[in-house]
Every structure is written in structure tokens, then in C-alpha cells.
Structure 1
């Protein structure tokens, strides 16, 4: 039996970069024409104690799980616009028209003495391992900001759209995420930027086409707050690569109350700060999220408050009800997981006995010729793929069971035929079928989908669907041209249901804030005489104090939490408006073990945005760390929940939830408190008095299973 048809039954454990690196931040993965998978990361030292940053380290894997360092990408002369001492961040590598193009952020340029004059640079190479040659001019030059300094022109991600147009996404908190159209060679911006995600909320863009939509993945909160890092990934989708991108509730990512549907966030295990992702598809057709995260027990590479230790993780990416989500909502894995189908392709790196007459293996490691080459495959759903290069006037393609799918260069079409039926789609202008492209054909039951991509990235440039008859189980390639990396595997089985949300249970205690006074059991940290109970609500004018850092001037209203598992819920009305700046007015729920040891789930104004932040402050290494997780989208009236569970080790796990109707809940990330601590539960309302605004709490309820 053809080895490529065997299922991968092995397991892996995160982080997948542990064999060669302690940190490997902002990772992206591409499959090279040599059949290996290549990963690239931000410029940091790879190991603790190393001390010297690698200028975009490159690693290689034969199976997507076991990786080895192969060298640094940017070892040659820097481009003339790059300032001495500049670093290179967040690479994105693509295969465009027969060469590899790497995009990256340049942290300092010669445009000005200002150290924030970021730009997007590019380098090209004949192979994914290099040698890489930096281009003399930036793809996107530094952009002066209206408020001074330069906009955050970082975190690039390239996309080739369904019409063949090439785009580049980039940006961060100061300036938001934008997209520009690229020239045909992918090396120069050819349009003004269009904002697709609001500033002060998102960075780390990555865009893929899935079905009829483009999905913008973006990371929020702080990437690098050590043990308080709450980085996470959300998504929006659009029918156009230019947006607008909206979440599963129809809320735009550019709104002041910005939308975003959670893709991955921390779940209470060892991993925090899960973010800055790429997407890679294995040989069975299953998508995988590649991203970095921080081990909460080892958050720094060396000394505390130095370089954050962010290894590379890999987890299954499911598409449920049209939305991407890591492990059906289970979040980052820290236990053995089924490995991706990363092996089993025929790379033609040696003579191949099963090739029929008319085909031969070249010294460069691919098959060339004409005719049809077939292999038997087992019964069941099937995925067949290969890299193809088609001479002018010819066609070449794949056989998948009873279907034949060819890239017809003469007709300028992708054509599928089976059982007397035919489906065809035109190739977009500019697509050069004489350069390597990947063709993947999936047959699930009697439904065939064929997709043509550039090196298996960002979704299809062109695709066709066809209903096919049952027939002989064979796979192969056909026509005239060049073929490489041929694979026939059982098609992955999709996960279609989210993991169950934690049960809330019944209300066992509540204060409905009726009767003109607080019920029994409340106590204050720094009493606030301005707080009243009237009209069925607790009314708390937002005060000027805060809890972060060592100031600790804000009031906190608390009560003891019950033992065991429970959920605290409140309904909050807070008229923060939209768009204007009123830093950092906020109110919500708090789990409080002390002024410097708390987790607060607040609706908050952060510059021009209105967010729900699950913030955590804790003492670490003689100082205080603070970071936050974003949770859903606030409205004027927002429901908030803290779902408390006791872990196996006795530690306290608090999961965040939010709702804008009290019925449908967005599930957020988890912060933990150590076993033996006794966090209390309560309310807060602070952050500034300009303009005056009052938080109205309808109730605090405790639910228990």
C-alpha cells in the first residue's frame, strides 16, 4: 500500500519548538517545494542565556511536530533604509511566482531619529532556507501619526485574493490594522491603506479565505506582560479582502465597541498569552493554528521583566458554524494531542518505481512527463494534492476517485469532471500556471472540492465544487507538466460542535439592590460614601482612583465567596459613549485577594475604544505585573460573569464571560489564583471622573451547580 495513504496516529505535546528554542515568537509556517515545513519567528535569542538575537530564525520539520533550527534569514547586508541596531519582527513568508518572499517589521529606519519609525520590509530567496536578499526599499514606509511619532507599521501578513490581487495587512495599536494593495511582484504598496481593525484593540493580522469569506485573525491585549500576559486571538470575516470585517454577531472590527469572535484564549492550564498566529493545513486537509504562548511558571527567557519566553505552539483549528476556533473552544493544549498529517507525500527525491512510462524523476527532485499515474487508495473520504507546473498550451492535474481535476493553461481554467458532469472556474488574471502552484482535491462522500493555492497558503485563488459518483478508489496525477509533493490521504474528519460551556447552575444567593441599602455580608476596601442603593440598582459614580500599580486608591466593594464551584453574575449599565477618549473609566466584577493581587472583569474605555477587559495584577519577582484578556464586546448595558472552579491542585480558576442580552454569552479567558489563597468577590467602578458617569449595577448573583 502506498505509504502516503496511512493515517498519522502519533501524538505530540506543546510546545513544538522545545527541541531547538526556548522562545519562538510570532511564528509563521510554510511548506517548501522540497517537501519540508519551514517556520520563521521574531528576532530573539533562541535559548536562555544565549544573549544574542537571531535575525529571524528559521526552523524546519518533516512532520510539523519535530523541528530543528537551520539558520537565520537576515544575515547579509541590511537595506539602506534600515537604521543600525534595528531589529526584525513578525515575519510572514509566501511563495510568489517561483520565489519566496519574506515580509517583516523593521523596528528603526533612517527616516528620522525617532525610534518608532517602523516600516515593513521584504527579502526574497530561491528556497525557504535562503539565501535571503533584503529589498532596497520598504514595502510600506514609516507613516507619521496625527498625534505625533509614527504609526505602528508592524506585523505584516500577505494575501492573494480570489481575483489574483495581492494585498498586505499590517499594523498595531497606534494606527490599527490596515491593508494595502501590492504590485504584482508583491514588493511595493500600490494603494493607500484601508483600516480594517480599529486602533488600540488589535495587532498581529493574518488573513485566510475559507468558503465564501475572508477571515481576519488578530491578536488583542498585551503580548508581553510576563506572568500577567493575556494575549488572545479573535476573528472577523468579510466578503471582500478590504473589509469591513465583522464578528459572528455582525459587529465590525473597526467600531469603537469593536467586535471579534474568539479563536483562542487561555484556559487555565500552563499556557497564557496565546496569540500572534498563522494557519497551516496538513496533508489530510485539517487546518492548524500555529502561535506563541507563555508558560505562566516560566514567563521570561532570562531575568524577570526581560525578554518574554514565548515558544511556538500548534493546535487543531476547527471551523464551527462558519467560524475558526482552536480545539472546538478548548484552547491551548498542554497534554498529548493527535499529531497533524504532516508526512506521507511523495517528494520525488529518489527514483520512484511506480511511475509509468512517460514520467521520470528529475535531478532537481520532481516528476516530469505526460500521461496518467495512479495509485490505489482505501475506501473512505479522500484528499489528494500535489504541486503542479504546467507548460504553455497544456493541462495537468489530479485524479481523486472517479474525478479528474486539471489546471488547463490553454483554456485558463480549473476544470473538474466526473460521471459526465463538469465544473469549471476561470483562473484570475496574472496567475502564472507555469510557476508552481498547489492543487488539492477533497472528496467527502459524493462532494468534491478542488482548490488552487500559492503554496497551500491563505485559501484558494480559485476553486470548483462537483457532485461525483461512487467509483474506484484511486488517486494520481494526469496530463503534461511537472508534479511534486504528491499526497493521497484519508480526508480529515471535521469537528462540528463546541466543547460544552461550564454549567452555571441555580441562583443560591443574590443582592438585587432593592430596599435602599446593601444586604448583609458586604464590606468595603476604602469606603465610598457616594455609592447609593436606590431605584433597584447600586449606583456608583466612577471615581478617580485605580488599583493597578502601587497607588491603590480605588474603592472595592466585597463579600466572601462560597466554597467550591460557583458563578458570580452582574448586570451593568455604564454609558461610556463611543469614540471619544476617557481613559480609563471602568466598572465591573472583581476577584480580590489584595490590592496587588486581583482579577477584574470590567467594561472599560481604552482611548477611543470601549472594551471588556479581564485584567490581572499579581506580585512577581519583587514587582507587580499587570495584563489583561479581552472578552466579547460591551454595550451600554452589559452582563458579566466570573465562573469559578477549583482545579485539581486546589488553585482557583476564574473564567470570564460577557453578554449584551443576558442570554447569549461570549466565553473569555481564564486567570488563576494559587491554592491556599482566598479571593473574595465584588464590584468596582473607577478610572477617572472626566466626564462624570455613573455605573448602575442591577444585582450581584451567585450561582452554584
Structure 2
């Protein structure tokens, strides 16, 4: 059973004894975060957006590494530049994940299958390498199989290379889904996952209908089994799932993707031990509950980027993960006319795993200044020597009866087709062994990666570096075993390609500091029977009372958004400089029922432009939303960020700072369900030199009757 394996181990041991004069790993391209003390010998940097050389909009991006060693990115069908034509799944190519060039459209109207309407467009592609071919899942917005329009479906196409030619299947993977009350559920935003047992799944859906997962056939081209809902409707879209550290992580984007300068898209995540869920956030709250959860991954931070969302995940050659996503420059939000195509270029930023949860740049959010670039060089050549922590990887094809290995010093990671095993052994032959899926296709390419950190060896076999390991093995080795010559070895008809060896990334393990609240400067505990003189009204509301230690505000009909400005706003002057304003709000909105859009909370207010952080009923869900309205080029713009979890009683904060680069005033939202543990949300900005007032607001509907109770209003300064 282990005949080939034994021979391969012996050959690997002999090879590792060679001394070859190649550069040590210490002088190869390496990665370190800005917070780390280790720096590159020759740092390479980039500045977002990374699509700027060829596209001003490249929305809903996903990236794969091709078998040719290049990286390929795919995006939604939009014009790439102002005045341009709509591209049909534009495709770009890069050797370093930073500098990209346009290579053409993946799809054409000439190859459109009969089930897709000529009026349909294509968006949100997801590309994978499955069973020796590239498979693209995409949204067709309109089909010929159902009456009416907006009957979206998930299509699929295959190609022999990342640039095609793509052959579209004659039938959708997921057909249009009629909604119970009429129309069609949003069957959009596909994302494939190959689980650790080899089973393939497809995630899809959006606000209208929620997020779902369906098992796929082994070739990934057909849906099989019964769909399972994994996230509640009216909360999120843009699924992307990775397997990491024993969990499946469901990334999803919330709020409006495309509201110009007030776009509040943001990414949050839940995790589960099964690809079918249930997915819960870091607080244990399910993504299926009415008071829905979700742990923040990235949201806007007050620089030029708003609406960061619809992500993919890509891993560089040092093992560092990156989030690829789109965002909008709030200074230049549209390609052409105001209200037209949103200008959503492609961004990339480091994705850290802190305490078991993914977060962009340790919580710093989207970058708009130079950052250390991903590691994409091949580093040490095969036959060279390495010292220290290292990641060595290669694409392997074991063949029908062969074996392939990645060798790091005296450590061998072996894929044995005869045995159906992944075997890792040290110089003494002490093995760690894992069985591979019985139906693994040995004739196609996979990626075998060996990471050495402080004497611990981790080995992972993935399908083209995607989703997460098909199988992984860990082994503690004697000091020095994982130092020395790096190379690949094969027996039989096995092959290897795309070898690389780089210093292993240094993980970031601490989040960026949270903003300091500081000392209490002013407060109103609402202990009397009337408002203090510090408060003034915009459109007074006579129903508001002060009694029982709270300000009591029956939620009225009307809105604050748009030209109407029907409801009252209770305001007071803000202090000079930086500050934090906080309130405790009780607003029992129940669960699951539709109570659009009853809400109450804090507000920063400037001449009927405002940012409002509130607990709100959004259809069947209850969320914390941070809304923004402003005037842009003579038109009112409105959007919001939804980050954090609400409850009948919730604590809210607005954290005001000044952006030192632009002079803009930044207001960051934060929420808590216990007044102790806070979730930091998105940031909205006000113009330099402006003086927004701060206060309280309630609005959204008087039926069923509900009263917002504000327990206090406090102002802190650092």
C-alpha cells in the first residue's frame, strides 16, 4: 500500500541533504503588516484602487490564480470607464495582484443560451477550477423561462483557461424561484464552496428571499438535493464562503450597494461547523434570527471610501489572506450622470484572523494610503535553501498511479494516489496521515502548500487555492528538520508546477485600538418633568414628555429623508473638538412582523442633512442602521450602514473625530446590547468647518403604537 510512498520518502531525504548555493529565504520577498517589527528587505507597496489602470468601476470582484501562475479577476457587467460600453463579465489579468490589465469579456451575446433573455445582463461572477476546467457561476437578470421580468437565475459556463473561451450551459444551475406573494425571489450573487469531504455547494440569494445553499453535482454544473436557508431575508447578499480553522465562514454584504456618496454597503460574517449552517456571529447570534447578527469584517472608516462590499478572498504566496472587494469614492461616486452607474473600482486589503474572526487590517478598514503589497514572487527557487518560518507550495497532479511531494528540508508532504493519502513525515519517518476523498480526481491539478511556523508544520491540499483545504495535516517536527533544501519530487506520471517558497506571513493578532470615550463632559439624565434649556426643536413634537427618568417619544408617522422632512428633531449644540455622544434607548419593536420603518436614535444634524444612528424595523428584521442624507450636486442622496445587533434595549454612540488629512468631520457609529461590549460600525463625514448639532429623533410610523424611551443623553470628551 505504501510502496510508492516509501520510495518517495527515501528520495526526499536524500535530496534534502544537498547543499545548493541559492539565496536563503531571509532575502526573498516577504510580508509583514505595518504593526510588525519585521520588514521586507525591498518593500513593495500599492495604493487602492487596484483596478485604476484599466477600470473606474469593477464591481463584485472575484480573483482566482490560473494554472499559468497569473491571477485573474472577474466583475459585474458595467462600463469600465465613463462613456464606455457595458462589458459582459469583464476579465483582467495580473502577475502581482496589484497591477492589472483588461483582457476582454468572458461572455458574449452571440453565445447567450436560449433560456437567457436578450435584455438580460450579467453580474456577480464566481470562478473556480473544478475537475480540470474553469467554471463560472453568474447572474442572468432576466430569463425566457418565466413570464414577466426580474426572474433572475444562476447560470454557469466552463472554459479550458481563465480567459476562455467560455461555453454557457443550456440551462441554469438555479432556475428562477417564484415568490409566495408573486414575482420572483432574488436568485443572485452565486458563490461555490468545495467542502472538506469533497462535496460541492452553491450559495446564492439576496434581500428578497434571504441567502440559501444548494448541493451541487460532482462536476459543479447541476444543483442536487434540497436547498437550505442560511441567512434571513432583508439583511444581506453577496455570499462568499471559506473554510478556515475548522469552521465555514459565510461572508455577506448588507445595505445598499449603489447609493452614490451615501452608499453604506458593509461586510459581516457568521461561522458554522457545517456548510449548511447554522451560521452564528461572534456573539452567538444566528444569521437567521429577526434581530439578526453578523460580525463586522469591513465597513467605511471616514476616508474617501464608502460602501466597501461584495467580497472575495485570495491568499498570497506567503499565506496571507486578502479581501478583494469594491467601494465608492464619495468624492467621485458616479461614472457619468448623478444617479447613474455607480463608480465601484476594485480594492484589496489584508484580511486578518483575530480571535477566530476575519477582519480587514485588524479593524482599520479600507485603505487609501500606500500598503505593503501581497507576496506574489516565487521567492527561493526549487533546489534552494530556506531557514526560519516558510511557506512552500506547488500545483500538483498525482496522475493515475503516481505521487507528488513538496520537500522542505527533511520534511516531506506527499500526495499518494495509490494509497489515497496525504502523508507528512519528518527525517525519522514519523508520519501524520489523512485520507483523501475517495472520488478525488487525480488527473487534474490541485495545490499542495506546506507552512512551517516555529517547528510546527501545517500542510493543506486545496482545489486551486480556493475555499479552504480539502484536507489538512499538522505535524510537530524536531528543531532544524524544516530547514534546508526546498523542492518538489514526483514518481510515476505525477507532475508539479508553479513552485514558490517565501517567508511565511506574520499574523496580526491584535485589533486596532478602539476610540477612547474619555471623561463625561455633559449629561441629561431626564430626571425632571421637562426638557432642559439646552435642547431646541426643529419642528416641535408636542407628544414628547419627560417623566419617570426618561424622555418618552411616541414614534410618529413621517420621515426625515427626502424633501418632506416631516418629523421633529430634538437638538443641542455640540462641544468643540472631539467627543462621543451616547444614549440608552428602549424601543420594543417585536420580532418577525413587518413594522416599516419604525425607528429612534441619535442624530448629527446640519441644515436638514444628517447622520442618524438608530434601532429600526426593516421588514421582518430588526437592525441597527446608521443612515446618511446629504445634497450632492443639487440632488438629495440617502443611504445607510447596518452593522451590529439590536435588542429591545440598545446603547448607541456617535464618535466624532476630525480627519487630519482632509479636515472633514467624521462620525462613527457604535452599538451595544449590554452597555459594556460595543460593536463599531460605519463612519459618515461632514464637510470641513461645518458644525453639526447633536440630538435625538424618532420616526417611521405610528401603527402599531410604540414609544421610544431615552434613558439619558451623555457627552464625553477624550
Could you say which TM-score interval applies, normalised by the shorter chain?
over 0.9
Map 1:568-587 onto structure 2 (within 5 A): 568-587=581-600
Q: Partner residue of 2:537?
A: 524
1:154-193 map, 5 Å: 154-193=188-227
2:233 match: 199
Q: In the aligned structure 1, how far is the partner of 2:528 from the partner of 2:640?
A: 36
**Which of 389, 401, 410 is equivalent to 1:381?**
389
Specify the alignment match of 1:407 in structure 2.
415
The equivalent of 2:36 in structure 1 is none
1:690 match: 703
1:602 matched to which residue of 2?
614
Contact 1:13/1:335 (<8 A) preserved: yes
What does the per-residue CA deviation read over 1:100-144, in whole Å, with 9 as the maximum and x for residues that have no partner? 000000000002342210000000000001000100000000000
Unaligned residue ranges in structure 1 (runs of 5+)? 347-353, 355-372
Of 657, 664, 673, the residue aligned with 1:645 is 657
Q: Provide structure 2 residue ranges, at least 5 long, that are not aligned to the other structure.
A: 1-21, 31-42
2: CA distance, partners of 1:307 / 1:320: 36
Q: CA deviation at 1:374?
A: 3.2
Q: Describe the superposition over 1:199-234 as per-residue Cα deviations: whole angstroms up to 9, x where unpaired.
A: 111000000000110000000000000010010100
Q: Is the 8 A contact 1:174 1:199 kept in 2?
A: yes
Q: What's 1:358 paired with?
A: none
Contact 2:420 2:438 in 1 (8 A): no
Matched, 1:623 2:640: no
User: Which of 621, 624, 635 is the equivalent residue of 1:612?
Assistant: 624
Q: Once the 2 structures are TM-superposed, how far is the Cα of residue 672 of structure 1 from its aligned partner?
A: 0.2
Q: Is the 8 A contact 2:146 2:176 kept in 1?
A: no
How many angstroms apart in 2 are the aligned matches of 1:79 and 1:27?
24
Residue matched to 2:434: 425
User: Are the equivalent residues in 1 in contact too, given 2:29–2:377 (CA < 8 A)?
Assistant: no
Once the 2 structures are TM-superposed, how far is the Cα of residue 419 of structure 1 from its aligned partner? Answer: 4.2
Residues 195-274 of structure 1: matches in 2 within 5 Å?
A: 195-274=229-308
CA RMSD between the two structures: 1.2
SS at match of 1:664: coil
Q: Is the 8 A contact 2:28 2:379 kept in 1?
A: no
How far off is 1:520 after superposition?
A: 2.5
Does the 8 A contact of 2:578 with 2:658 survive in 1? yes
1:510 correspondence with 2:523: yes
Displacement of 1:375 in angstroms is 2.4
State the distance in 2 between where 1:62 and 1:604 align. 46
| Number of equivalences | 677
Hey, what's the Cα distance between the residues in 2 that align with 1:448 and 1:91? 35
**Alpha-carbon shift at residue 689 of structure 1 (Å):** 1.1
TM-score with structure 2 length normalisation?
0.93
Higher relative contact order (Cα pairs below 8 Å, separated by 6+ residues): 2
SS at 1:328 equivalent: helix
Measure, in 1, the Cα distance between the counterparts of 2:596 and 2:486: 61
Deviation, 1:688, is 0.3
User: SS of the counterpart of 1:192?
Assistant: strand
Shift of the alpha carbon at 1:433? 2.1
CA shift digits 1:618-677 (9 cap, x unpaired): 011221110001120001110000000122233210000000110110001100000122
Within-5 A mapping of 1:111-190: 111-190=145-224
Say whether the 8 Å CA contact 1:583–1:606 is kept in structure 2.
Answer: yes
How many Å separate the matches in 1 of 2:495 and 2:213?
A: 35
Between 29-38 and 108-117, the greater mean CA deviation after superposition:
108-117
CA contact (8 A) 1:139 1:188 kept: yes
After TM superposition, give the deviation of residue 473 of structure 1 in Å: 2.2
Question: Kindly tell me: are residues 285 and 248 of structure 1, through their superposed partners in 2, closer, same or farther at Cα, counting changes over 3 Å?
Answer: same
Question: CA deviation digits over 1:670-698, x for unaligned, max 9?
Answer: 00000122110000111001111111110
SS state of the match for residue 362, structure 2?
helix
Of residues 396-405 and 506-515 in structure 1, the stretch that sits farther from structure 2 once superposed is 396-405
| DSSP 3-state at the match of 2:689 | coil
Q: Which deviates the most, 543-552 or 424-433?
A: 424-433
Return the alpha-carbon distance in structure 2 between the equivalents of residues 206 and 447 of structure 1.
30
1:481-531 deviation per Cα after TM superposition (whole angstroms, max 9, x unaligned)? 100100011000000000001111011100000022222210111111111
